[in-house]
Amino acid sequence: MEFVEVFDSPGKGRGLRATKELWAGDVLFSEAPFASVVFDGHAACVCHGCFRRQEKLQRCGQCRFAQYCDRTCQRAAWEEHKLECAAIKNYGKAPNESVRLAARVMWRTDKEGSVVSDLQLSTMDELEDHISDMPEEDMKDLKVDIHNFLDFWPRSSKPHTVDSISHILGVINCNGFMMSDQRGLQAVGVGLFPNLCLINHDCWPNCTVILNNGNQSAIDTAFHSQKRIELHALGKISPGEEVSVSYVDYLNLSEDRRRLLKQQYFFDCTCEHCTNKTKDDLKMAGAEVEGVPVPEENVKEITENSRKMLEKMEQARIEANYNEVVKICRECVEKQENVLADTHIYQLKMWSTLSEVLSYLQFFEEAAFYARKMVEGYLKLYHPNNAQLGMATMRAGVTHWQAGHIEVGHGMICKAYAILMITQGPTHPITKDLEAMRMQTEMELRMFKQKEYVYHQMREAALQNQPMRMMAEPFNESIKSLFRRK
C-alpha cells in the first residue's frame, strides 16, 4: 500500500493512516472483495459475476440458481462458483446470502490461505466478529445460520469447527460491505474487503468509499477485478493523519447516529461532531419571520406532526401510491412553512420526497422548486464534497432542465459534476452520465442564449422523444457500509 499504513488508533484499536499528503479526489487504494455474493432478493435479476442488472440472464445449468450476463461472465465467475454450484445442487436449494458468503470465504481460505495478496493488510482471523456484543435476537439468527451452514457445507470440503464458522458469520454481520449495481444506486449484494475493514468511523470523515464496477472491460476474465471498492479523499489529508469514513448518514441527529452505530457496529462514537452535537441545532431549528424567531412550542408541535406525517408518507410510498404521497407531503409542507427552518431535517425529507415523486409524475415546475430548496438546505449541513449532496444536486439540475430552466439546471449539473468527480471518480458510470448531461446542457444553454424560441421547440421535442434520464437519489443503504472492527 503506497498511501496508507496500519497503526494503533487511540481508543479505536487498529486503523489506517496516510503515509503521504493527499488531496480531494485522490484514490488512496483500490481493493477487490475477498468474497462476494448477490442478495437473495436480487438473485434472479442481477448477474452473479459482475453484479450488473440485466433483463435477460443465463442460468447456471447445474445448480439452476446462479445467473449471468453471458458466457464471458459465467466463465470468469466459475472459479468462485464451482464449489458453491455443487453444494447447492447437493443441498437442493441455495441458503441465504450470509451462509453463501461464509462458504465462499472458507473455500477461498482453504485453497489460498487467509492472505491472498501482498496488498492485503489484515487476515480474516484478525477481523472482529463482535459475537459477544450481539443481542439475544441476533444470537438466535446466528445459531440458525450456523445450523444451515453445517447442512450446506459439503462433506468433501475441509471440515470447520462451530467456532470458526460463527467467527466468519460474525465478521460478515459487522464487516460486510453493501455492493451496488453498475449504476451505483441500489445495493444488490454484499462482500468482504479486509483492508476496508481497517478504516475507522468519523461522522465528518476525510474519505468516502465507492464501488466502481463500471470501468472494467466486458471481456475482462479476472473475475475479482470486475468488482472493486475505491477509497477517495474528500479533502487534504496530511501524512500521519488517520483515514476515516462515515458508517451512517450525517443528516441524522448526533443522538440518532450514536444509537445506530451502537446497534449496528457495537461502539460508542466519540467523534467531534457527536461530542459537540455539531449542527444539531440547525437540523431541528425553527424559522424566523421578519427577523423574529418562531416560538419554540410551535416548532415542537410542527416537528412532532412532521414525524407522524413522514411515517404516513413512507407507508404510501411503499404501496407505490404516489398521488397519496404528494397529498401528504403538500399538507405537511404547508404546515411547516414559516415554522421550521430550511435546514430542519423533517422539512428537508419532505422536500426531497416531493421533488422526486413530482418529477416522476412529470410535474417538473413544482418538482424543481422543492429540489432547489432541498439542495440549499443540504449545502448548510453536509460536507461540501459529500456524495449525497452531489447526487441531490444532480437530481435538482436534471429536474430544472426538465422544467425548462436551462440556466439553473446547467449550473446545478456543473456543481454536481465537481462533487462527484471527487467522490466517485471520472470512470464511475454516474460521473460519465453526468458528464454527458453537462455537455448536453452546455450546448442547449448556448442555443438558448442565441435563439430562445428555437431552443424551447427543440427541448419539447427532446422531452417527447428521448428525455434525459432521471437519476434518483440513492437510499442510505446504497452508500452505507456495514463494517466495523477494532
Digit-coded pLDDT (tens) for 178-229: 888 776 667 899 999 999 999 999 999 999 999 876 544 333 334 334 688 9
Mean pLDDT of 336-363: 96
pLDDT score of 329 more than 90? yes
Phi-psi map region of 483: left, alpha, beta (phi>0 left; psi -120 to 50 alpha): beta
What lies within 8 Å, CB to CB, of 249 at 6+ separation is 257, 388, 476, 480
Note the pLDDT of residue 155. 94
Note the pLDDT of residue 464. 67
Mean pLDDT of 457-472: 57
Percent of the chain whose predicted confidence (pLDDT) is above 70 = 89
Residues of the chain with CATH 1.25.40.10: 279-376, 382-473
Quick one: which of 480, 478, 485 has its CA closest to 174?
A: 485
Q: Rounded to an integer, what distance in angstroms lies between the CA atom of residue 134 and that of residue 433?
A: 42
Dihedral (CA of 227, 191, 480, 31) sign: negative
Hey, what amino acid is at 2?
E
Question: Which residues does residue 330 pair with via DSSP β-bridges, in sequence order?
Answer: none
Note the pLDDT of residue 225. 41
Q: Rounded to an integer, what distance in angstroms lies between the CA atom of residue 471 and that of residue 393?
A: 11
Q: Read off the pLDDT band of 467 (50, 70, 90).
A: very low
Pick among 2.170.270.10, 3.20.20.70, 3.30.360.10, 2.130.10.10: CATH of 4-246: 2.170.270.10
Q: Rounded to an integer, what distance in angstroms lies between the CA atom of residue 199 and that of residue 247?
A: 10
Note the pLDDT of residue 108. 96
Q: Are 191 and 179 spatial neighbours (Cβ–Cβ below 8 Å)?
A: yes
How big is the CA angle at 18 (ends 14 and 23), to the nearest 5 degrees?
A: 140
pLDDT score of 475 more than 50? no
Q: Rounded to an integer, what distance in angstroms lies between the CA atom of residue 459 and that of residue 432?
A: 22
pLDDT score of 321 more than 80? yes
pLDDT score of 468 more than 50? no
Q: Looking at domain 279-376, does it have CATH number 1.20.140.10?
A: no
Which segment of 13-17, 184-188, 275-279, 444-448 scores lowest on mean pLDDT? 184-188
pLDDT score of 382 more than 80? yes
Quick one: which of 430, 346, 357 has its CA closest to 387?
A: 430
pLDDT score of 462 more than 80? no
Q: Rounded to an integer, what distance in angstroms lies between the CA atom of residue 36 and that of residue 177?
A: 9
Q: Map grid coordinates 481497517 to a residue.
A: 198
Mean pLDDT of 450-476: 57
pLDDT score of 437 more than 70? yes
**pLDDT: which is higher, 214 or 365:** 365
Note the pLDDT of residue 454. 66
Q: Rounded to an integer, what distance in angstroms lies between the CA atom of residue 119 and that of residue 123?
A: 11
Note the pLDDT of residue 463. 64
pLDDT in tens, 65-124: 999 999 999 999 999 999 999 999 999 999 999 999 999 999 999 999 988 888 999 998
5 φ, ψ (degrees, to nearest 5): -145, 155
Note the pLDDT of residue 79. 92
Q: What is the rounded average pLDDT for all residues in the chain?
A: 89
Q: Read off the pLDDT band of 459 (50, 70, 90).
A: low
Q: Read off the pLDDT band of 26 (50, 70, 90).
A: very high
Quick one: which of 39, 6, 1 has its CA closest to 482?
A: 39
pLDDT score of 344 more than 90? yes
Quick one: which of 146, 186, 148, 192 has its CA closest to 169?
A: 146
Note the pLDDT of residue 474. 36
pLDDT score of 353 more than 50? yes
pLDDT in tens, 404-427: 899 999 999 999 999 999 999 998
Question: Which residues does residue 37 pair with via DSSP β-bridges, in sequence order?
Answer: 190
Pick among 3.40.190.170, 3.90.420.10, 1.25.40.10, 3.10.20.30: CATH of 382-473: 1.25.40.10
Residues of the chain with CATH 2.170.270.10: 4-246
Q: Are 373 and 351 spatial neighbours (Cβ–Cβ below 8 Å)?
A: yes
Its pTM stands at: 0.88
Write down how long the chain is. Answer: 486
Mean pLDDT of 290-307: 96
